[in-house]
Amino acid sequence: MTLGLSHDTSQVACDSFRWDWNRIGTRGSPQATSILWLCDCGGSTAANTDLFTHDVQRLAEQIGVEIRVAHSPSSCSKYHVIERRLFPHSTRACQGLLFDTLDTVVTLMRKAATSTGLRTTVKGIRRHDETGRKATEHMKQNLKIVCDPLLPKWHYRAIPQHATVIN
């Protein structure tokens, strides 16, 4: 879980994933050739934003691994397995307490756990990201995105420039 002081931007989403990939993913899956990223369809990770697609493309190039993005249809995040299993416990860990600092919230969220083994990994981001960014024509033209033939609006792959495209 990533918590921050800034707005919900595509940069925050990609920074959060980069941190998680570098800290956990590379150790758990060092030979991975692609990563599946499940996103809801709202906010910074909306399926219809070229800026998010651009930031995902940049992330794929930085980590050198193809990122497969699958968006849930609008209004379906309530059925997302992680949200349904994690959020009630993180809410309970914070119940009735005042969020006075980012460190307080991070500490509280880290306490969220269950007797069946669910634990949280929480990172706090202190940086303030730029809001109001717009995708330029140059950004859109330089994307190396391969859309899924069945649901191209919701599913696509961001491929690092050095990788070969296989459909």
110 lies in a domain? Answer: no
pLDDT band at 164 (very low <50, low <70, confident <90, very high): very low
Q: Which amino acid is at 156?
A: Y
pTM of structure: 0.79
CA distance linking residue 4 with residue 93, whole number of Å: 18
96 lies in a domain? Answer: no
User: What is the per-residue pLDDT across 57-66, written as a single tens digit (0 to 9) for each?
Assistant: 999 999 999 9
The total domain count for the chain is 1
Question: What is the domain extent for residue 153?
Answer: 2-81+118-158
β-pairing, 66-71 vs 123-125, is: unpaired
Do 116 and 14 meet the contact criterion of CB atoms below 8 Å apart?
no
Give the Cβ contact number of residue 115 at 10 Å. Answer: 5
User: What is the per-residue pLDDT across 116-143, written as a single tens digit (0 to 9) for each?
Assistant: 888 888 888 887 777 778 888 888 888 8
Q: Which amino acid is at 130?
A: E
141 lies in a domain? Answer: yes
- Tokens matching residue 125: 């981001």
CA distance linking residue 52 with residue 158, whole number of Å: 11
